[in-house]
Amino acid sequence: MTSLVSGDLFAQPGLLVLPVDGDGPEPWRSALGPAFDTALADATAGKRPALIVREDGARVAVVAVGDEPGAERWRWASASVAGPMGGLGIDRVVLAVPPSDGAETAAALVEGFRLASYRFDAYRTEEAPASPDLAVWTDDAPDDLDAAVRQADVRAEVTSWARDLVNLPPDAKMPAALADRIAETATEAGVACDVWDKARIEAEGMGGLLGVNRGSLDPPRFVVLEWAPDGTESDAPVVLVGKTVTYDTGGLSLKPTKDSMDKMKADMAGGAAVAAAVVGAARLGLKTRVIGLLPMSDNRPGGRAYAPGDVLTMHSGATVEVLNTDAEGRLLLADALSYARGLGPRWVLDAATLTGAQGIALGERVAAVVARDADRALADRVHRAGEATGDLAWPLPLYPHYRDQLKSDVADLKNVGGRMAGTITAAAFLEPFTRTDGEPAFPWVHIDLARPAFLDTAYGYRPTGASGFGVRLLLDLLAEEVEGGR
Ligand code: BES
Ligand code: MN
Ligand code: ZN
């Protein structure tokens, strides 16, 4: 928990962090004298924090705020301190909010610092150093500061939880174990959690999920999370669907190991983001009804594994010719989207590490957003929430002709659309499963976060490995559902 302090800034114990926009506030300049200007010049030129050690030994880190858009620049500023100061044995960090700024800046500073301080230590035998206590200093403690900082703590915590799930090794998160882990955290947060076993999944006729699971020794799960605070129980829910492939070997269409299968423990990152967003909504007390759907399986070759040429009958009743067992995500997502029709949703969003083509098109920092033209407003909301949170997401078109790439010789659809426009044809595959009797059943938007979910290169407040991409974006969208917004 981040504490709030005001009063004499320079009397605060611990490392004082001064994020500086332009020349910096007058009171800070005059308190520190020429050392301030030198440190600011160094910080600006070196693009890293510059340390001032005061006469009494107190440390002050001056950070030159960069030109990232909106709140991102405050997140990046505090993040830039978390790394370099980590080894100094500092037991308290005080983030100073510039006197002209308020609660929003404070929240961004906290979010950035906490997210940048994340470590995945579960498998290290050496004991991790204790993380420092965090405080936020403001000159006049604005009214909304307390709530904003508490929200930032929660947003960072649930994002870190999603990162933990994604960083877990595959054998520690086979469907049954992952479902149990999620159920435990969800229940603690007051989220209802229903875990379907294989028999229930069979009874529901989820042929896509069952097909993907056929080569596995471990049975699938389908997890239904619901946050419905008092008075919203009969509202149409927002439904979030997350691809939760606990490990993607490619199945019989086996992946090569290097730079491919070796990262596929992250193939459940969409599901982790959805679970964390529903838990986050509950912990923030957002007054809106939301349901999370997580179809879970690994994808492996094995004696009974589904094979190229097999035809699956999906939850919707449609048939799919499988021509590549590595295009598995769309199969289990299709079943979840089809199931969502029965929930009478306000709108539906799915988040998935769906295609390598997403990274080819947009790179490691920008997810793809795909929606029907009729759902452009929803896609725009995703794009805007992306820029507000730093979980960047950019739209791709979904013209009806992309469907032509999915025509099968023997079934209603095939599961691969060829080399061209791979991210779009994956979305085009999902699209019919969001329809009832040929008509769109709900507004729907698809986010492909294949590369942003798991990073080769750290940036800002994101370490290598699991990024927690999408959690804060989803939370912003959910907060918008509540009257008055966040
Ligand atoms: N999980 C992968 C997509 C992926 C690739 C995620 C790289 C993260 C990084 C997905 O199941 C997959 O294998 N997609 C195939 C689809 C193809 C066979 C049509 C792909 O993108 O190659
Ligand atoms: Mn795959
Ligand atoms: Zn996959």
Say how many domains are in the chain: 2
The atom number, within ligand 1, closest to the CA of 416 reads 19
How far is it, in rounded angstroms, from Cα 194 to Cα 197? 10
- Is 155 inside any structural domain? no
Model confidence over 234-246: pLDDT tens digits? 999 999 999 999 9
Model confidence over 143-174: pLDDT tens digits? 899 999 999 999 999 999 999 999 999 999 99
My answer on whether 193 and 69 are in the same domain is no
On whether the CB atoms of residues 349 and 241 are closer than 8 A, the answer is yes
Q: Is 448 in the pocket of ligand 1 (CB under 6 A)?
A: no
User: How many angstroms separate the alpha carbon of residue 264 from the centre of ligand 3?
Assistant: 7
My answer on whether 110 and 224 are in the same domain is no
Is the pLDDT score of 485 beyond 60? no
How far is it, in rounded angstroms, from Cα 271 to Cα 434? 19
Q: Is 287 a catalytic residue?
A: no
- Is 150 inside any structural domain? no
Please tell me which residue in 265, 330, 414, 451 is annotated as part of the active site: 330
φ, ψ of residue 412 in degrees (nearest 5): -65, -35
Here the CATH number for the domain that contains residue 248 is: 3.40.630.10
Q: How much of the chain, in percent, has pLDDT values that exceed 90?
A: 95
On whether the CB atoms of residues 368 and 470 are closer than 8 A, the answer is no
Can you tell me the mean pLDDT for 292-317?
A: 98
pLDDT value of residue 369: 99
Is the pLDDT score of 49 beyond 90? yes
**Dihedral angle over CA of 333, 292, 384, 73, nearest 10:** -110
388-392: long-range contacts, CB 8 A cutoff, minimum separation 24? 388/70, 388/71, 388/476, 389/472, 389/473, 389/475, 389/476, 390/68, 390/71, 390/72, 390/75, 390/460, 390/472, 391/367, 391/452, 391/469, 391/470, 391/471, 391/472, 391/473, 392/365, 392/366, 392/367, 392/452
Closest residue by Cα to atom 3, ligand 1, is 355
Which residue spans within 97-164 are E strands per DSSP?
A: 133-137
* Boundary residue ending a domain (73, 106, 139): 139
My answer on whether 106 and 8 are in the same domain is yes
Here the CATH number for the domain that contains residue 69 is: 3.40.220.10
What the block records as the tokens of 128 is 């991790």
My answer on whether 291 and 414 are in the same domain is yes
Average pLDDT of the residues of the chain = 97
Q: Is 353 in the pocket of ligand 1 (CB under 6 A)?
A: yes
Q: Which of 361, 312, 315, 352 is nearest to 330 (CA)?
A: 352
- Is 157 inside any structural domain? no
Q: Is 450 in the pocket of ligand 1 (CB under 6 A)?
A: yes
Taking only Cα atoms into account, the Rg of the chain, rounded to an integer number of angstroms, comes to 24
Max avg pLDDT among 53-57, 66-70, 137-141, 470-474: 470-474
Q: Is 330 a catalytic residue?
A: yes
The atom number, within ligand 1, closest to the CA of 250 reads 13
User: How many angstroms separate the alpha carbon of residue 257 from the centre of ligand 1?
Assistant: 13
User: Which letter does DSSP use for residue 309 in this model?
Assistant: T
- Count of other CB atoms within 10 angstroms of residue 53: 10
pLDDT value of residue 283: 98
- Is 360 inside any structural domain? yes
Whole domain around residue 100: which residue ranges?
A: 3-139
Closest residue by Cα to atom 7, ligand 1, is 356
Is the pLDDT score of 412 beyond 80? yes
Bridge partner residues of 311 (DSSP): 321
| Ligand that comes closest to the CA of residue 249 | 2
| Ligand that comes closest to the CA of residue 263 | 1
Is the pLDDT score of 433 beyond 90? yes
φ, ψ of residue 277 in degrees (nearest 5): -70, -40
Is the pLDDT score of 359 beyond 60? yes
Q: Is 332 in the pocket of ligand 1 (CB under 6 A)?
A: no
Query: Is the pTM above the cut of 0.95?
Result: yes
- Count of other CB atoms within 10 angstroms of residue 272: 33
- Is 149 inside any structural domain? no
* Boundary residue ending a domain (107, 139, 171): 139
My answer on whether 167 and 316 are in the same domain is yes
User: How many angstroms separate the alpha carbon of residue 235 from the centre of ligand 1?
Assistant: 36
My answer on whether 186 and 40 are in the same domain is no
Model confidence over 171-201: pLDDT tens digits? 999 999 999 999 999 999 999 999 999 999 9
Q: Is 298 in the pocket of ligand 1 (CB under 6 A)?
A: no
Orientation of helix 471-481 relative to helix 269-283, angle to 10°: 40
How far is it, in rounded angstroms, from Cα 448 to Cα 38? 45
User: How many angstroms separate the alpha carbon of residue 460 from the centre of ligand 2?
Assistant: 29
Please tell me which residue in 73, 163, 243, 255 is annotated as part of the active site: 255
My answer on whether 100 and 208 are in the same domain is no
Can you tell me the mean pLDDT for 231-257?
A: 98
My answer on whether 120 and 187 are in the same domain is no
Q: Is 112 in the pocket of ligand 1 (CB under 6 A)?
A: no
Q: Is 246 in the pocket of ligand 1 (CB under 6 A)?
A: no
My answer on whether 294 and 402 are in the same domain is yes
- Is 43 inside any structural domain? yes
My answer on whether 301 and 384 are in the same domain is yes
- Is 67 inside any structural domain? yes
**pLDDT band per the 50, 70, 90 thresholds, residue 128:** confident
pLDDT value of residue 484: 54
Q: Which of 142, 143, 68, 82 is nearest to 110 (CA)?
A: 82
Closest residue by Cα to atom 17, ligand 1, is 327
The atom number, within ligand 1, closest to the CA of 355 reads 21
* Boundary residue ending a domain (139, 173, 202): 139
Is the pLDDT score of 486 beyond 50? no
- Is 59 inside any structural domain? yes
My answer on whether 407 and 276 are in the same domain is yes
My answer on whether 181 and 246 are in the same domain is yes
User: How many angstroms separate the alpha carbon of residue 334 from the centre of ligand 3?
Assistant: 14
**pLDDT band per the 50, 70, 90 thresholds, residue 107:** very high
Q: Is 170 in the pocket of ligand 1 (CB under 6 A)?
A: no
